[in-house]
Structure 1
Amino acid sequence: MNNFYASVECMLDPALKKYPIAVCGSVEERHGIVLAKNYKAKAFDVKTGDAVWQAKQKCKDLVVVPPHYEEYIKYSKLARSVYERYTDQVEPYGMDECWLDISGTESLFGSPEKVANEIRETMKFELGLTISVGVSFNKIFAKLGSDMKKPDAVTVIPKDTFKEKIWGLPAADLLGVGRATQRVLDSYCIRTIGDLANTDPEFLRRRLGKNGVVLWNYANGNDLSLVAKKDFVSPIKSVGHGITTVADLEKPEQVWPVFLELTQDIGHKLRVHGLSAEGVAIHIRDNTLNTRQWQTKIALPTQSPMIIAKTAFQLFEKRYGWNNPIRSVTVQAINLVPQDTPRQIDMFMDAAKQDKLERMEKCVEDGI
């Protein structure tokens, strides 16, 4: 859906349509960044992730509106109800995007391009929202196609001519190529999707790990992943919690209690889902909005908030250079396994002590 948050806000208040607008988090609660913008704001180079003050510097007439998440959820569900008229294989990708598998429905609804245009018109007529649709033979190229023409458009990427259609596009347009990956690719003059497709996959593996081979397959049209059915619940891969602090954090002793507070929620969620963590990841955003992230393993799978917090803090002290004060902190429990997974005991690890700590924490949480 095009400029989803901003488009919903313009429907709720049609007077906004004539202005450049940005949906922004609360400045008072220090979530003051641009979450979405309309095309009028985009014309002034207002970008998602800009601080509010930066966005207003770029566009002095910018109208800032707060987010109304309950409305976004409502319209997201309404959109999916439209998609489900054509298939039960509807896989959400965030609140405003979905993959649909309409294989085998041609005798019912016509060609894929016809279906795409029909959905596009239905969304405008019934919901007042414009969408851009990508039609292709796999999920990655369908997503790429949806980004190629905006707003209110359909792009078809056929299997027999996809190289001509997309190999000239920037590699950064491909799903999975983030800023860090793009910097690595740029350093080896891999600028386009075609460059990526024609690079030795073993070279990419050495430079980018297994993700390098995944991207090589994507660029060559080898994505074989299936579209999940609408009621499919994907397994939990991580459990996290983050906070934007009321004031910038300037010393380690201010960071430790934040980690400890965040991991109470994480430990509770792990127990609810019957999972233990074998690793911890931290995401640190400083007051210039630069974000760094690191991860590490935990010696034994755990649900303990204290162990997760200590592991996170040790990682933080080892990696964060304190070039700037800290604006927000997120902790994630990663590499999750069922809580009853047998542990490979290391002779130097006190598993009994860890079990005792976890039982004590559970008793405290349960009020026993």
Structure 2
Amino acid sequence: MESETNKKLRKIIHIDMDAFYASVEQRDNPEYRGKAIAVGGSPEGRGGVVATASYEARKFGVRSAMPSKRALQLCPELIFIRPRFDVYKEASRKIREIFSRHTDIIEPLSLDEAFLDVTEDKQQIGSAIEIAKLIKQAIKDELQLTASAGVSVNKFVAKIASDLNKPDGLTFIGPSSIESFMEKLPVEKFFGVGKVTADKMKRMGLHTGADLKRLSENDLKTHFGKVGAFYYRIVRGIDEREVQPHRETKSLGAEDTFPYDLTRTEEMNAELEKIAVTVYERLKRYGLKGRTVTLKIKYSDFRQITRNQSFPVPVGDLEKILETAKQLLLSTEPEDKPVRLLGISLSNFGEIVPVNNRPDNTIQLSLFDDV
């Protein structure tokens, strides 16, 4: 039995670039180094949205998807920079080349983040930790950028690990350490536990994974509904999802299914902000703009609706996508029914031109992809 379990253990690396867009700007423009910068829309006029903030700006509370006007209030010396997606895309391509030296099983989540399955690595190094070190060093030497890496036996734990020692971090959580690690983790760090759920848990005396672990699966379902089964598994570090190669090339939109139902408009808007950033990045990657923005909603009873708005000229900027999605959400009286999934897509592109302008480069796009 023990040998069977060991056979099934995978070696998963999650690589997350450190403040990617901002770091590229600081690399290419020495005058920005050491300063608080935000890549995104200007706070002038109606104001834009922050796509990425440097670590110097994050010390003031500036974060991705935050309105630029709010970011400027938090950090009056903040420097706003228009995105250069052609430059970020090229850096992302080079990072992917570094990944591919070790494995072809690569699942990009965005331009700056990916899962790698190195259970069978090309160079037969055998150690996921050593591979992560080599990847980080290659990114630093060849691109003058830093990345953080998480290494474990599944995607969920590897992703949490990559965020623990940013920037330029490397964290390994082995099979024997997963449960003890999860027990110490604050409940708000668990995927799917938002502010509302975290507050409810704390009122119940549930502050850490260890507290959650004391409850049976039925108890968790009683208090949190069907998502209780998810909490029961994830607090034990159980995640059987496989790394899925090439997923990012199949989408002109993004959606996310939540492990718990959203019931408040502010929660839904917060999730839409994250989804809109992902959509924005994917549109830029393909060089696309669309005339129609579509919001997809799936309710807790699995009933699904879509709402869309069309424009006379194509749109592709983050602010417009997010503003439109929020307005479409508002038109559905969002707090009337619990929501389990939200998605945003753009369509009605007209002519699709590949970003490298090669006429023989066709792109297969599906309507949605998971965030």
Q: 1:52 aligns with which of 47, 68, 79?
A: 68
Task: Work out whether 1:127 is the aligned partner of 2:143.
Answer: yes
Following superposition, the deviation at residue 24 of structure 1 comes to: 2.7
| TM-aligned CA deviation for residue 303 of structure 1 | 11
Q: Does 1:139 align with 2:140?
A: no
2:292 maps to which of 252, 261, 265: 265
Shift of 1:264: 7.8
Q: Deviations over 1:133-188 (max 9, x none)?
A: 00101110000100011111210001012233342121222233233433333332
Note closer, same or farther for the CA distance 1:129–1:163 as it changes in structure 2 (3 Å cut).
Answer: same
Tell me which of the two structures has the higher relative contact order, counting C-alpha pairs closer than 8 angstroms and 6 or more residues apart.
2
Of 316, 324, 333 in structure 1, the residue corresponding to residue 331 of structure 2 is 316
SS in 2 for 1:160: helix
Task: Assess, with a 3 A threshold, how the Cα gap between structure 1 residues 162 and 81 changes in structure 2: closer, same or farther.
Answer: same
Cα distance in 2 for residues equivalent to 1:47 and 1:305: 28
**Which residue of structure 2 lines up, in the alignment, with residue 88 of structure 1?**
104
- Report the AA paired with residue 46 of structure 1: V
2:211 to 186, 195, 213: 195
Cα distance per residue 1:317-363 (max 9 Å; x no partner) = 64579xxxxxxxx9859xxxxxxxxxxxxxxxxxxxxxxxxxxxxxx
2:180 is matched with which residue: 164, 169, 172?
164
- The 1:106–1:187 alpha-carbon spacing in structure 2 relative to 1, beyond 3 Å, is farther
Cα distance change of structure 1 residues 194 and 71 upon mapping to structure 2, 3 Å threshold: farther
Query: Residues 214 and 55 (structure 1 numbering): CA distance in 2 closer, same or farther, change over 3 Å?
Result: same
Q: Secondary structure at the match of 1:87?
A: coil
The alpha-carbon distance between structure 1 residues 215 and 74, as it changes in their structure 2 partners (threshold 3 A), is farther
- The count of aligned residue pairs is 276
Secondary structure of the 1:167 match is: helix
Q: 2:52 is paired with a residue of what secondary structure?
A: strand
Shift of residue 209, structure 1, vs aligned partner: 3.4
In structure 1, the partner of 2:313 is none
- Does structure 1 residue 297 correspond to structure 2 residue 303? yes
Q: What is the Cα deviation at residue 94 of structure 1?
A: 2.6
Cα distance between partner residues in 2 of 1:91 and 1:113: 18
Give 1:304 deviation, angstroms.
9.9
AA aligned to 1:203 is D
Counterpart amino acid of residue 95 in structure 1:
L
Q: Which structure 2 segments of 5+ residues have no match?
A: 1-16, 257-289, 311-326, 337-341, 346-371
- The verdict on how the C-alpha distance between 1:96 and 1:27 changes in structure 2, with shifts beyond 3 A counting, is same
Q: Deviations over 1:40-79 (max 9, x none)?
A: 1122232334333332233232212122223222222221
2:48 aligned with 1:32: yes
Change (3 A) 1:224 1:27: same
The answer to whether the 8 Å contact 1:4/1:36 transfers is yes
Percent identity, aligned pairs only, is: 29
Given that residues 190 and 196 in structure 1 are in contact (C-alpha distance below 8 angstroms), is that contact kept between their aligned partners in structure 2? yes
RMSD: 3.9
- Which amino acid letter does the alignment assign opposite residue 60 of structure 1? P
Cα distance, 1:205 vs structure 2:
2.5
Opposite residue 52 of structure 1, the aligned amino acid is S
Q: Which residue of structure 1 aligns with residue 132 of structure 2?
A: 116
CA distance in 2, matches of 1:317, 1:302: 10
Partner in structure 2 of residue 214 of structure 1: 230
Cα drift, residue 265 of structure 1? 2.7
Partner residue of 1:69 out of 85, 90, 93: 85
Q: Which aligned segments of 4 or more residues in structure 1 are displaced greater than 4 angstroms?
A: 231-240, 293-296, 301-306, 312-315, 317-321, 330-333
Query: Residue 281 of structure 1 contacts residue 295 of structure 1 at CA under 8 Å; is this kept in 2?
Result: no
The Cα of 1:102 is off from its aligned counterpart by 0.5
SS at match of 2:115: strand
After superposition, what is the alpha-carbon deviation per residue over 1:229-258, rounded to whole angstroms, capped at 9, x for unaligned? 346867999789xxxxxxxxxxxxxxxxxx
What TM-score do the two structures reach when normalised by structure 1? 0.63
Residue 270 of structure 1 corresponds to which residue in structure 2? none
Kindly name which structure, 1 or 2, has the bigger radius of gyration based on alpha carbons: 1
Secondary structure of 1:44 counterpart = coil
Question: Which digits, 9 at most, give the CA deviation of each residue in 1:67-116, with x for residues without a partner?
Answer: 22232222222212211111111111233211111003397124111111
Structure 1 regions of 5+ residues with no counterpart?
Answer: 241-262, 268-278, 283-292, 307-311, 322-329, 334-368
Is 2:9 the counterpart of 1:3? no
- 2: CA distance between counterparts of 1:135 and 1:215? 21
Deviates more, 1:129-138 or 1:223-232: 223-232
Q: For 1:176-187, what aligned pairs fall within 5 Å after superposition?
A: 176-187=192-203
| SS in structure 1 at match of 2:180 | helix
| Change over 3 Å in CA distance of 1:167–1:313 after alignment to 2 | closer
SS at 1:45 equivalent: coil
